[in-house]
């Protein structure tokens, strides 16, 4: 995989203008992951919800024999733009410098208690 950039842009990290996938064997499309445990628990705090969503994504990657470094694209749906800064902090920590193509959309989320949802694409 290769990061592709147009004229340099200022970002908050863990973000690339584009990711080129060449000669990969597998692509994994991950449906929107929500901040809920298998038992139905949803944290109240946004940061805890964000961490749980990334935990759910990591579990799916692991089950496919992949890691966070295999992520090439994520789309994040936020219930409110006020969470953007906290999301960037959590995302940068979890991705630890791994850049992905990224889209953030402010949208109504399916369940009122969910403050975000993330879908992803990974390749190896």
For the stretch 58-109, pLDDT in tens is: 999 999 999 999 999 999 999 999 999 999 999 999 999 899 999 999 999 9
Sign of CA dihedral 121, 53, 81, 7: negative
The angle subtended at Cα 72 by Cα 124 and Cα 98, nearest 5°, is 100
Distance CA 67, CA 61 (A): 6
* Whole-number pLDDT of residue 74: 97
CA distances (Å), 13 to each of 10, 34, 43, 94, in order? Answer: 9, 23, 26, 11
Distance CA 75, CA 93 (A): 17
Domains plus CATH for the chain? 2-123 (3.30.1330.40)
Distance CA 104, CA 90 (A): 14
pTM to 2 decimal places: 0.85
């Amino acid at each position: 995989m290769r990061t592709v950039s147009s004229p340099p842009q200022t970002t908050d990290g863990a973000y690339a203008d584009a990711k080129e996938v060449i000669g990969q064997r597998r692509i994994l499309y991950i449906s929107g992951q929500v901040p809920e445990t298998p038992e139905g628990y949803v944290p109240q705090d946004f940061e805890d919800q964000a961490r749980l969503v990334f935990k759910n994504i990591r579990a799916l990657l692991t089950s496919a024999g992949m890691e966070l470094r295999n992520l090439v694209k994520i789309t994040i749906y936020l219930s409110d733009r006020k969470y953007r800064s906290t999301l960037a902090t959590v995302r940068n920590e979890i991705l630890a410098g791994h850049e992905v193509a990224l889209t953030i959309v402010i949208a109504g989320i399916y369940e009122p208690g969910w403050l975000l949802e993330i879908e992803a694409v990974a390749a190896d």
